[in-house]
Chains A and B, each alone.
Chain A
């Protein structure tokens, strides 16, 4: 009788288990910022992103108008009602490969983290998750009331009870693989703007 790899690995682990060790809880105190919104903005800037505080969708459009990428963009997807113009309707995209030519995507983010300028996004909002990574430029719209101080607070809000994809995105795609020189725009978006909307 041959024993399966699974049983043999689990058996080997069980034979070798170290003595019990307690699991630490998740209670803090973890860092709090006097002004989490400006903390978020300055960290995002430091990692190569751009943060714009806006009152409403109209202000997003005003900012977009001054954004060279927006003027030059031929193919756009917007899933934030009223923000920018959507040239392609996500609902009509059957295969994610069809999104290869998207210049700018304007998408909603669930919430943001002040400590590291990460924005939580999921595939529930966008149909094809590749849009976050494949478009040449990315703009996320997050409600200013949805900025938590640190990553522990972030995980306290997250549940993973349904099959789904979720990611923290902090800034544009980057690499420092050539002599440690930081280059923005490795494979994913070449820029990332976060609109913090009141």
Chain B
């Protein structure tokens, strides 16, 4: 159920982010830049839509036979010499990881990016048990050093400025004070993390795709950190949600073509590594985690959210995410997909997230596996209303609106009064705490006439001269 710490709703956390106007715009721009790169990359392939269609179908097919495919994967992975573990909950997952580490009397673990281990809060658990975990994806490492969670699933440190990273590195790595040059900072991190790679006893990775047909799995990175992390130490632990399963290696043709292009606009990630069994003399452990996923399968409305390949495109395009920052969602996976997944775990705690959406539908347009994100968010709003989890002011506003819309005369009179009165009201009266819409923006100007009046006049004049037709935009 709800955690002990007081949970805060999205509007409240977002308000803190927007309070710094310049930074909010900078964040918005950075992500829009990535979104534009995605558009360009998708346009290089005439078969883009066909790829999305096939990828989506592969996922839906896999779901319809999920248990068989997981069993097939397990069988084949074991035949290749891997050890397969199953975990219902984050706690079970964390215990399994710790068990493997302790069996090897190890204390130094290098980890490459994995949203699943974030979801399980693995790092703090291991640290409490005396294990030193180093996140080796540069962005993840930066947020780890700052003691905060990632704010984006592909670009964990997208919210941090280079000046801040320069200061952090100066304090912790002894880089020059005031240095902000990215190549210089990256190089400093490279030196430090090389030591960690060479000293690690265990390498831990996530899994992008697990192949039932072969018993192998694929990990995608740009930095090569996953590969360094698991090719030096003898033990590799791979943690995956059960929805990462796909039937055949050939299906990767769809997913790898879509993933990099959707995520950052690259034609493919720099490294797409296929692991089939442990390396000679090594050990490979694969942990399959449920944590609520099998329940999502049961729901026709939200099942498709399990298609997600975690490319982050829906976040990059989302006008709310871009302007409110990943941390404002208070979940491991933020943005549109996170706002669907989080309430499936705990509807009460995350009730504000499906409302952090303008229903513009842009996420649905860019999603490479055709998740109908904005529809699902709308469905969530209805479910939450049925569960009485919609906050009082929203419910009040909605019932007021419903009452007005049900009485056309009231709507007309209200509109007429508003048009007269609003332009004369002092700002204080309009922009107050009862008008959340006007918090970070101006209300539109009141028109002189209502739409109804304009329409009536237009009908009277009957023939509309062409220069009065609305300009196309």
Question: In whole angstroms, what is the CA distance A164 to B215 when docked?
Answer: 11
* Contact partners of A108 in chain B: CB under 8 A: none
Name the residue of chain A whose CB is nearest to the CB of B231.
A130
- Report, as a range, how many residues of chain A touch the other chain: 35 or more
Is A178 within 8 A of B223, CB to CB? no
Provided the pairs A132-B227, A177-B155 are in contact, do residues A170 and B269 lie with their beta carbons within 8 angstroms? yes
Pick from A58-66, A74-82, A110-118 the stretch touching chain B.
A110-118
Provided the pairs A21-B60, A26-B253 are in contact, do residues A14 and B67 lie with their beta carbons within 8 angstroms? yes
* Contact partners of B223 in chain A: CB under 8 A: 173-175, 186-188
Provided the pairs A173-B222, A186-B224 are in contact, do residues A151 and B138 lie with their beta carbons within 8 angstroms? no
Give which listed residue, B70, B162, B267, contacts A179 with CB less than 8 A.
B162
Within 8 A of B (CB), among A157-198: 158, 160-181, 183, 185-189
Most B-side CB within 10 Å, residue of A8, A12, A13, A167: A13
Is B249 within 8 A of A158, CB to CB? yes
Provided the pairs A5-B86, A151-B253, A186-B190 are in contact, do residues A173 and B224 lie with their beta carbons within 8 angstroms? yes
* Contact partners of A13 in chain B: CB under 8 A: 66-67, 70, 242, 294, 297
Provided the pairs A163-B81, A167-B227, A174-B223 are in contact, do residues A188 and B271 lie with their beta carbons within 8 angstroms? yes
* Contact partners of B231 in chain A: CB under 8 A: 96, 128-130, 133-134
Pick from B192-200, B387-395, B409-417 the stretch touching chain A.
B192-200
Is A47 within 8 A of B66, CB to CB? no
Give which listed residue, B138, B268, B269, B288, contacts A178 with CB less than 8 A.
B138
* Contact partners of A35 in chain B: CB under 8 A: none
Provided the pairs A8-B88, A175-B222, A178-B182 are in contact, do residues A18 and B57 lie with their beta carbons within 8 angstroms? no
* Contact partners of B46 in chain A: CB under 8 A: 31
A19 contacts the other chain (Cβ, under 8 Å)?
yes
Name the residue of chain A whose CB is nearest to the CB of B136.
A187
Question: In whole angstroms, what is the CA distance A185 to B49 when docked?
Answer: 34
Name the residue of chain A whose CB is nearest to the CB of B46.
A31
**Which A residues have a C-beta under 8 Å from some C-beta of B?**
4-6, 8-10, 12-24, 26, 28-31, 43, 47, 96-97, 100, 115-118, 123, 128-130, 132-134, 150-152, 154-156, 158, 160-181, 183, 185-189
When A and B form their complex, which 4 residue pairs have the shortest distance between CB atoms, in order from nearest?
A188-B224, A163-B277, A116-B267, A177-B139
**Which B residues have a C-beta under 8 Å from some C-beta of A?**
30, 33-34, 45-47, 53-54, 57-58, 60-61, 63-67, 70-71, 80-81, 86-88, 92, 136-139, 142, 155-158, 161-162, 165, 182-183, 185-187, 190, 193-194, 197-198, 211, 214, 216, 222-225, 227-228, 231-232, 242, 247, 249-253, 256-257, 260, 264, 266-279, 288, 290, 294-295, 297-298, 300, 303
